[in-house]
Amino acid sequence: MKDRLTPMAIGGALTCVLLSMMMDGGNPAVLIKPAPLILVFGGTFAVSLAGVLKRDVKSVKLVFKQAMGSAVIDMDASIETIVELARTAKQSTVMALENTVREVDDRFLQLGVQLVVDGSNSEEIREILEGEIDAMEERHKAGAKFFTDMGGFAPTLGILGTVIGLVHVLGSLSNPGALGPAIASAFTATLWGVLSANLFWLPIANKLQRISAAEVQVKLMQVEGLLAIQAGGSSRVVRTRMETFLPAGSRDYALPDRRQEAA
């Protein structure tokens, strides 16, 4: 299941802009001008690339796709997975976790379980896993920063396009009848610069930051669950420790059917 709220919301905002133009008697077709579009979109992308490393370019497409349709992060499912691991460790041995975790499609969780199975102490487990989280967070920041940069450069490129257009207008003062359309055309670049920054690039950057924060929270929760397993806690203790990361209304400590987890 994908979270596609971002493209839907951007489409809704763009629709509002176009509707407001038509309600004021304008024609949205006047926005389709090759020169300002090339300058604003092409120029913004190019100058944003100037601020990253060559190796970072490959990740731009990936993070854009993630913002447009990221996988829904299910914290409850993550809790249930680790609770099941805790139950396995209690009913069998910690060593039995190694076979169980192979069925889990989560490299971070596999690493954590392997550390527990190998007999690492809690300080080592926390240090290694939190180092993984920090590295992941830095990668996410790089992707979000690229679109934040685009949101900052786009209005400036739009103003530059308007200045270029006005220079052309000032060179055509001998034809007063053409001044109005020429000035309107010049300001199209500014419109696209402001519009693209606030309707496209900054919302995408915000979405990437939110995705990163959610993933960090899930992994920190997993760390606490794994440390509880390493300490020999019951599945109920593991669940209680992990559910502290959930909103109070979503916690489910005391349901009767959870009594079996005390074992």
pLDDT value at residue 248: 73
> Mean pLDDT across the stretch 45-70?
87
Point out which residues pair with 71 in neighbouring strands: 2
pLDDT tens digits, one per residue of 177-229: 667 777 878 899 999 999 999 999 999 999 999 999 999 999 999 999 999 99
pLDDT tens digits, one per residue of 99-130: 777 777 788 998 998 898 888 899 999 999 99
Give, in degrees to the nearest 5, the angle at Cα 42 between 196 and 211: 50
Does position 238 have pLDDT exceeding 50, yes or no? Answer: yes
Does position 251 have pLDDT exceeding 80, yes or no? Answer: no
> Mean pLDDT across the stretch 51-69?
85
The average confidence (pLDDT) of the chain is 86
Domain boundaries, the chain: 2-76+122-262
pLDDT value at residue 249: 66
Helix axes 122-170, 202-230, angle to 10 degrees: 180
**Which of 15 and 66 is assigned the larger pLDDT?**
15
> Mean pLDDT across the stretch 39-53?
93
Residue 153 — pLDDT band, cuts 50, 70, 90?
very high
Does position 261 have pLDDT exceeding 60, yes or no? Answer: no
Residue 163 — pLDDT band, cuts 50, 70, 90?
very high
| Candidate from 14-28, 86-100, 151-165, 241-255 with smallest mean pLDDT | 241-255
> Mean pLDDT across the stretch 145-169?
93
Q: Mind spelling out the 3-state secondary structure of the chain?
A: CEECHHHHHHHHHHHHHHHHHHHCCCCHHHHCCHHHHHHHHHHHHHHHHCCCCHHHHHHHHHHHHHHHCEECCCHHHHHHHHHHHHHHHHHCCHHHHHHHHCCCCCHHHHHHHHHHHCCCCHHHHHHHHHHHHHHHHHHHHHHHHHHHHHHHHHHHHHHHHHHHHHHHHHCCCCCHHHHHHHHHHHHHHHHHHHHHHHHHHHHHHHHHHHHHHHHHHHHHHHHHHHHHHHCCCCHHHHHHHHHCCCCHHHCCCCCHHHHHHHC
pLDDT value at residue 250: 65
